[in-house]
């Protein structure tokens, strides 16, 4: 049984519908889904705020690369364009963690190499998994401790919206 933590985000088109498309595609594989958070863009590119959420899912037929391909297909279906690094996007599906695997493979680095630096990943993740841990530089660290180490302004910039991503039954 493969277990994955996915961070999803969107700031183009209908961002909430784009996030919901991921939940709908996962269907019964969703174990937990966070609320929706509005966050300032990360990386210095001028653009509108993002909507972000974190999902935990399980699938006995997908390995870590399978989850990567799944996310890439959803991005393609949302007409994701990769023109500017950290630029605006219709949908971003990042594999944050997959079965605790640590990999330096350039196609799929696990855990996600910048997840521990991003409040927009950590805040929603803690909402759905308060005891979450992440391997950082070879050490397993509680996600709450990673979040506590971030700049307070970045953490405060992750704002819960009233929107939810309902799992289709």
Q: Look up 24 and say whether it is catalytic.
A: no
Mean pLDDT of 144-157: 95
Q: Look up 79 and say whether it is catalytic.
A: no
* The pLDDT value given to residue 11: 92
Query: What pTM, to 2 d.p., does this model score?
Result: 0.91
How far, in Å, CA of 53 to CA of 136, rounded? 21
Residues in the chain: 169
Topology of domain 2-159 in CATH is Alpha-Beta Plaits (3.30.70)
* The pLDDT value given to residue 120: 95
Comparing CA positions, the residue from 96, 137, 133, 100 lying closest to residue 118 is: 96
Q: Look up 80 and say whether it is catalytic.
A: yes
Residue from 20, 89, 97, 118 carrying the catalytic annotation: 89
- pLDDT (tens digit, 9 = 90+) per residue, 32-54? 999 999 998 866 667 789 999 99
Q: Look up 89 and say whether it is catalytic.
A: yes
Residue from 20, 92, 97, 118 carrying the catalytic annotation: 92
Comparing CA positions, the residue from 127, 141, 157, 130 lying closest to residue 53 is: 127
- pLDDT (tens digit, 9 = 90+) per residue, 73-119? 999 888 766 666 666 788 999 999 999 989 888 888 889 889 999 99
């Amino acid at each position: 049984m493969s277990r994955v933590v996915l961070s999803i985000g969107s700031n183009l088109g209908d961002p909430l519908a784009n996030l919901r498309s991921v939940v709908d595609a996962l269907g019964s594989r969703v174990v937990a889904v966070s609320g929706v958070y509005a966050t300032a863009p990360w990386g210095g590119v001028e653009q509108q705020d993002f909507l972000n959420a974190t999902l935990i899912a399980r699938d006995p037929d997908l390995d870590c690369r399978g989850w990567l391909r799944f996310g890439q297909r959803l991005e393609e279906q949302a007409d994701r364009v990769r023109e500017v690094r950290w630029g605006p996007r219709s949908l971003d599906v990042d594999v944050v963690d997959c079965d605790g695997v640590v990999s330096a493979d350039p196609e799929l680095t696990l855990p996600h190499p910048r997840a521990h630096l991003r409040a927009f990943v950590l805040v929603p993740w803690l909402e759905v998994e308060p005891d979450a841990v992440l391997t950082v530089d070879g050490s397993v660290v509680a996600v709450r401790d990673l979040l506590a180490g971030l700049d307070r302004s970045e953490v405060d910039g992750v704002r819960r919206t009233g929107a939810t991503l309902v799992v289709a039954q």
